[in-house]
Amino acid sequence: MSVPSQLFDCRDAFARSLEEAAAADPRIVAVVNDSLGSSKMGGFRKLYPQRLVNVGIAEQNMVGVGCGLANGGMIPFVCGAACFLTGRAMEQVKVDLAYSKSNVKLCGMSGGLAYGPLGPTHHSIEDLAWTRVLPHLTVIVPADPYETEQAFRAALALDGPVYLRLSRMGVPNVHGEDHRFQLGRATKLREGRDVTLIANGTMVCRALEAAQQLELEGVQARVLNMATLRPLDTGAIAAAAEETGCIVTAEEHSIHGGLGGAVAEAVTATTPVPVRMVGVPDAFAPTGSVGFLFEHFGLTAAGIHDAALEAMRRKSRKC
């Protein structure tokens, strides 16, 4: 992992999967908000011009139209920048999709800090907090292209609303081709007894890198990829708490309300252990490129590594 292998944009895997699925199922339609390019829908439009709906710059409308399309028997994939898709259309997501149990797949593109210097308006570091509190809504944050493809198929197979958060940042393949994504189940990428690192999306490869460094220092870190944020794999979290005694969460999101919040809720309900959260603190980001911002907020292997040592210190202080 320290020699970065090839990096992939998960939106490509998503677009490929959508095009393939659409060939087999005429009910599949795509809905965009003047976001053809950023949603990688150029190929889909060429293949299925009739099944691409561009509502223009109108996100509330876009999600509502998705709800109506689903009612009419279609399977809409509603695609837009994650910040606007969730933030702008949040009530439509709550009422038209979650509360109504509409079979709509929301695809939030370029989640997290990906838009870099375009700033806090374009960062989407609140979307997981907003979406994971909604009953009936499945929330998935895949870590690499294989997982994106499989998450796509799981979302399609599910009769109900899904929020799929995709990154535009390059990520390495953290899974082999034999990886089997299971909805609602964490994937154990590494066994360990001293601490558990729970990550999703772009932070999974960084958690693995941190675990490698920790191993050199004699610390055995378990690594869980918590790609499904809702429903949450509380069993894996309870086991991590019991067997490793402390947890670090890592996400490209606010430390409030996302993966860290979800894990903390689960842990306090079962086996209270120290939990350290790596993510964006209670702040709007300063101006800077996405690389700069990752360093600035410690969304790095080093940041996770240090948090792991801190969590372990707290664990031993308690005993």
Partner 1 sequence: MVHSAKTGHPGGDLSSADILVSLYFGVMKAGGSWTASEDRDRFVMSKGHCSGAFYSVLAEAGCFPDEWLDHYMKPLSMLNGHPDRNKLPGVEANTGPLGHGMPIATGMALAAKISGASWRTFILTGDGELQEGSNWEAGMTAAHYGLDNLTLIVDRNRIQQGAWTEDTIRLEPLADKWRAFGWAVQEVDGHDHAALLDVFGRLPFEKGKPNCVIAHTHKGMGVSFIQDRPEWHHKVPSDAELEAALKELQA
The site for partner 1 (CB under 8 A) is made up of 34-37, 54-58, 60-61, 83-84, 87-88, 115-119, 121-122, 286-289, 292
Residue 165, interface with ligand TPP (CB under 6 A)? Answer: no
To partner 1, the closest distance from the beta carbon of 295 in angstroms equals 10
Picked from ligand TPP, partner 1, none, the partner binding residue 268 (CB below 5 to 8 A depending on kind) is none
Is the C-alpha dihedral spanning 63, 64, 65, 68 positive or negative? positive
Q: How many residues does the structure list for the chain?
A: 319
Nearer to ligand TPP, 65 or 208 (CB): 65
Query: CA-to-CA distance for 282 and 240, rounded, in angstroms?
Result: 27
Contact 84, 111 (CB under 8 A): no
Phi, psi of 66 (to 5 degrees): -60, -45
39 to 68: interface string for ligand TPP, x by CB under 6 A: ------------------x-x---------
Q: What's the token pair of residue 248?
A: 């670090």
Single-letter residue type at 155: A
Query: How far, rounded to the nearest angstrom, does the alpha carbon of residue 50 sit from its chain's CA centroid?
Result: 30
Residue 168, interface with ligand TPP (CB under 6 A)? Answer: no
88 to 127: interface string for ligand TPP, x by CB under 6 A: x---------------------------------------
Picked from ligand TPP, partner 1, none, the partner binding residue 118 (CB below 5 to 8 A depending on kind) is partner 1
Query: CA-to-CA distance for 229 and 235, rounded, in angstroms?
Result: 13
3-class secondary structure, 198: strand
Residue 7, interface with ligand TPP (CB under 6 A)? Answer: no
Q: Which of 12, 34, 265, 295 binds ligand TPP (CB under 6 A)?
A: 34
3-class SS shares of the chain: helix, strand, coil, % to 5: 45, 20, 40
Residue 36, interface with ligand TPP (CB under 6 A)? Answer: no
Cis peptide before 274 (omega within 30 of 0): no
Contact 267, 275 (CB under 8 A): yes
To ligand TPP, the closest distance from the beta carbon of 167 in angstroms equals 18
Nearer to ligand TPP, 58 or 264 (CB): 58
Give residues in contact with ligand TPP (CB under 6 A): 33-34, 57, 59, 84, 88
